[in-house]
C-alpha cells in the first residue's frame, strides 16, 4: 500500500482540493451515477466514465481495496416534458421497456470494454431496488420531510432548508432563491406545496408501463431516489466519493443529498467529484439536443464531424489529454493531434523497453541525467496526486521520452544513466501507460489480428487437405471445434471463408 502519497482531490462541496482521507483505512467506496439506458451512450457519457475509470485505476494502483458502484438507470428518468425516458425509448422502438434497457445496457458494456474501462464492483439496476426506494420514501415521510399528494410523494424542500440549514445548495453552490426560481417552471406544480419540492414517488398515469405497488399508489420512484437508496445499500450511509458529470449537480445530486439527509440526517458522500463536459461545436454533447457523435461512428470513420476513423485508444488518449474538470471540445484537429501523441507515446515505450540495461559499464555515480529522470518520474506521480491530472502525467512521460530518444539514437551513451534508473523508467512507463491511464497498444492488437489470420489460414488449409483426401472425420472435427469457439466456416464458390459469430 502506497499510503505515503499525498493524493489531493477537488471536492465540489468545499470548492477546494483536499487531501484524500478514506473513511476506512485502505478502502475506498465510490459511487458514480450510471447511464440511463434508453438509447446508445454518446462520447460525452464515455468521457465521464473514462475519467472515473482513471480514478478507479489509480486507487487500485495505490493499493486501496475499491468498491466501485455504478448504477444502471432503467426507470423513471423524466424528460423535460414529463415523459419517462425509458418508456419513450420503448414506445419509439415498440419494445418492452426491459428489452430497451437490456439492449442499451449490453451496448454500454461493450463500449466500456472497447474503451478499456475496468468494470465496477457492483452495477445495481434501479428496477432491482424498488423495495429499498419505497423504504427510503417511508423514512423521509416518517421524518416529516415529505408529504403525499394525490398518490405521489413530494420532498418538502422549504421544510428541509429550515430544519437542516446549509445543506440544500451545497453541491451546486447556488443560493436557495436561485434554485427556487429555477424550479418554478417545472411540470406537475399543482400537486406540490412549493415549486422547489420534487417527487420521490410518482403515481402512475395510464400510459406508464413500469409500475409497482407502494403504500401510496401504483407508481414508480423519482429518478433521484435510486442513487440515494443504492449508494446507501452498497456503500453505507456515508461513504468516500460520489461522482458524476457536472450537469448532474442540480437537480440530481442536490436532491440526492437532501434525500439522504431527509432519511437519516447524514451526508451521503464526503467528497463529491464532477467531470466537465465534452463539447461538440462548442456546445455540450447531449442526447436530447441531438448534438452527439456516437463512438461507433467515430471508430468506423462514418461521422460527419471527422475526416477519418480514430481507434478507441486514440479517443481514450484524446480524453486524457485534458484534465477531467476542464471542458474538452472534440474536433478533427484535436483528434489528429491525439493520434500523433498516442502513437508517439507507444513508439517511445517500445524503444524504451528495448534499451539494454548494462550494469557492467556503470561507474556507480548518480549524475544529472539520473536526477532529471527521477524528478520526471516524481512529476508523473505528482500529476496523478494533483486531482488526477492526466494532462500533467502525459507531459512528464513525454519529457522522459526525449531522454529515451537520445539514448536510442546514441546522442547520449547507453551508460549515461544508472541501470536502476533506466529500469525504474521502464517500469514507470509501463505502469502509467497501461495500468493507470488504461491504454492499450493498437500495434499489439494489429499484431494479434495477424497471428489469428495466420493460424486460421493454416487450420483451413489442413481442413481442405483432409477433404481432398476424403478424410471427413478430420474435416468435421476441425469445423466442429471452430464452431465451439464461435467461428463459422463457409464453403463457397470462391473458396473457404470464416467469420466470428
Ligand atoms: P445520462 O445517461 O444522460 O444520465 O448520462 C450519463 C453520464 O454522462 C452522467 O454522469 C452525465 O453527467 C454524463 N454526461 C452527459 N453528457 C456529457 C457530456 N457532454 N460530457 C461529459 N459527460 C456527460
Ligand atoms: Zn445518480
pLDDT in tens, 49-85: 999 999 999 999 999 999 999 999 998 655 545 666 7
Beta bridge partners of 27: 65
Phi, psi of 81, rounded to the nearest 5 degrees: -90, 15
How remote is the C-alpha of 251 from its chain's centroid?
21
| Poorest-pLDDT segment among 2-6, 30-34, 64-68 | 2-6
| Poorest-pLDDT segment among 234-238, 372-376, 492-496 | 492-496
Q: At residue 269, does pLDDT exceed 80? A: yes
- The per-residue pLDDT for range 85-142, each reduced to its tens digit, is 766 666 666 778 888 899 999 999 999 999 999 999 999 999 999 999 999 999 999 9
Asked whether the CA dihedral 188, 193, 196, 199 is positive or negative, the reply is negative
Spatial CA neighbour of 393 closest among 320, 333, 442, 335: 320
Instruction: Name the strand (E) or helix (H) holding 36.
Output: none
- The per-residue pLDDT for range 147-192, each reduced to its tens digit, is 999 999 999 999 999 999 999 999 998 888 887 887 765 656 788 9
* Predicted confidence band of residue 366 (pLDDT cuts 50, 70, 90): confident
Asked if 319 and 279 count as a contact pair (C-beta separation under 8 A), the reply is no
Report pLDDT for 361.
61
- The per-residue pLDDT for range 441-475, each reduced to its tens digit, is 998 877 777 788 888 888 999 998 999 899 999 99
- Round the average pLDDT of the chain to a whole number and report it: 91
Query: How far is the C-alpha of 127 from the C-alpha of 106, rounded, in Å?
Result: 16
* Closest ligand 1 atom, residue 32 Cα: 10
Asked if 285 and 277 count as a contact pair (C-beta separation under 8 A), the reply is yes
* Predicted confidence band of residue 48 (pLDDT cuts 50, 70, 90): very high
Query: How far is the C-alpha of 460 from the C-alpha of 475, rounded, in Å?
Result: 9
- The per-residue pLDDT for range 290-325, each reduced to its tens digit, is 899 999 999 999 998 999 999 999 999 999 999 999
Spatial CA neighbour of 73 closest among 108, 116, 44, 117: 108
C-alpha cell at 354: 528495448
Residues with CB under 5 A from ligand 2 (ion): 33, 227
Taking the CA of 280 as reference, the closest ligand is 1
Give 367 Cα–ligand 1 centroid separation in angstroms.
48
Spatial CA neighbour of 241 closest among 481, 468, 59: 59
Report pLDDT for 182.
74
Asked if 28 and 67 count as a contact pair (C-beta separation under 8 A), the reply is yes
Give 244 Cα–ligand 2 centroid separation in angstroms.
7
* Closest ligand 1 atom, residue 34 Cα: 6
Amino acid at each position: 500500500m502506497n499510503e505515503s502519497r499525498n493524493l489531493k482531490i477537488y471536492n465540489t462541496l468545499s470548492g477546494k482540493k483536499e487531501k484524500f482521507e478514506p473513511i476506512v483505512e485502505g478502502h475506498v467506496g465510490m459511487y458514480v451515477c450510471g447511464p440511463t439506458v434508453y438509447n446508445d451512450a454518446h462520447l460525452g457519457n464515455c468521457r465521464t466514465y473514462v475519467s472515473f475509470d482513471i480514478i478507479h485505476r489509480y486507487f487500485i494502483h495505490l493499493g486501496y481495496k475499491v468498491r466501485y458502484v455504478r448504477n444502471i438507470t432503467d426507470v423513471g428518468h423524466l424528460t423535460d416534458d414529463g415523459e419517462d425516458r425509458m418508456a419513450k425509448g420503448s414506445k419509439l422502438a415498440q419494445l418492452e421497456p426491459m428489452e430497451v434497457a437490456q439492449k442499451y445496457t449490453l451496448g454500454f458494456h461493450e463500449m466500456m470494454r472497447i474503451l478499456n474501462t475496468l468494470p465496477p464492483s457492483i452495477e445495481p439496476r434501479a428496477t432491482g431496488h424498488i423495495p429499498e426506494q419505497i423504504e427510503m420514501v417511508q423514512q423521509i415521510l416518517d421524518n416529516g420531510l415529505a408529504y403525499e399528494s394525490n398518490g405521489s410523494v413530494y420532498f418538502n424542500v422549504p421544510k428541509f432548508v429550515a430544519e437542516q440549514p446549509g445543506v440544500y445548495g451545497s453541491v451546486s453552490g447556488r443560493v436557495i432563491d436561485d434554485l427556487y426560481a429555477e424550479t418554478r417552471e417545472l411540470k406537475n406544480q399543482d400537486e406540490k406545496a412549493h415549486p422547489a419540492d420534487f417527487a420521490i414517488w410518482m403515481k402512475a398515469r395510464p400510459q406508464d408501463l413500469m409500475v409497482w405497488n407502494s403504500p401510496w399508489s401504483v407508481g414508480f420512484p423519482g429518478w433521484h431516489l435510486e442513487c440515494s437508496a443504492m449508494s446507501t445499500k452498497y456503500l453505507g450511509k456515508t461513504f468516500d466519493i460520489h461522482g458524476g458529470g457536472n450537469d448532474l449537480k442540480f437537480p440530481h445530486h442536490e436532491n440526492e443529498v437532501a434525500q439522504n439527509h431527509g432519511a437519516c440526517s447524514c451526508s451521503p458522500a464526503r467528497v463529491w467529484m464532477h467531470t466537465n463536459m465534452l463539447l461538440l461545436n462548442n456546445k455540450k454533447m447531449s442526447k436530447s439536443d441531438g448534438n452527439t457523435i456516437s463512438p461507433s461512428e467515430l471508430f468506423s470513420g462514418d461521422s460527419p464531424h471527422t475526416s477519418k476513423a480514430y481507434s478507441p485508444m486514440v479517443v481514450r488518449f484524446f480524453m486524457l489529454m485534458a484534465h477531467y474538470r476542464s471542458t474538452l471540445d472534440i474536433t478533427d484537429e484535436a483528434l489528429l493531434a491525439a493520434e500523433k501523441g498516442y502513437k508517439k507515446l507507444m513508439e517511445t515505450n517500445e524503444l524504451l523497453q528495448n534499451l539494454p540495461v548494462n550494469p557492467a559499464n556503470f561507474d556507480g555515480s548518480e549524475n544529472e541525467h539520473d536526477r532529471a529522470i527521477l524528478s520526471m518520474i516524481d512529476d508523473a506521480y505528482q500529476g496523478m496526486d494533483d486531482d488526477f491530472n492526466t494532462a500533467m502525467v502525459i507531459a512528464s512521460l513525454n519529457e522522459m521520452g526525449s531522454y529515451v530518444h537520445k539514448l536510442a539514437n546514441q546522442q547520449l551513451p547507453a551508460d549515461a544513466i544508472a541501470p536502476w534508473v533506466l529500469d525504474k523508467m521502464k517500469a514507470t512507463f509501463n505502469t502509467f501507460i497501461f495500468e493507470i491511464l488504461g491504454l492499450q497498444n493498437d500495434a499489439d492488437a494489429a499484431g494479434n489480428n495477424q497471428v489469428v489470420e495466420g493460424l486460421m489460414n493454416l487450420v483451413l488449409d489442413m481442413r481442405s487437405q483432409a477433404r481432398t483426401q476424403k478424410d471427413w472425420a478430420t474435416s468435421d472435427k476441425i469445423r466442429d471445434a471452430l464452431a465451439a469457439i464461435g467461428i463459422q466456416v463457409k464453403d463457397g464458390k470462391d473458396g473457404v471463408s470464416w467469420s466470428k459469430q
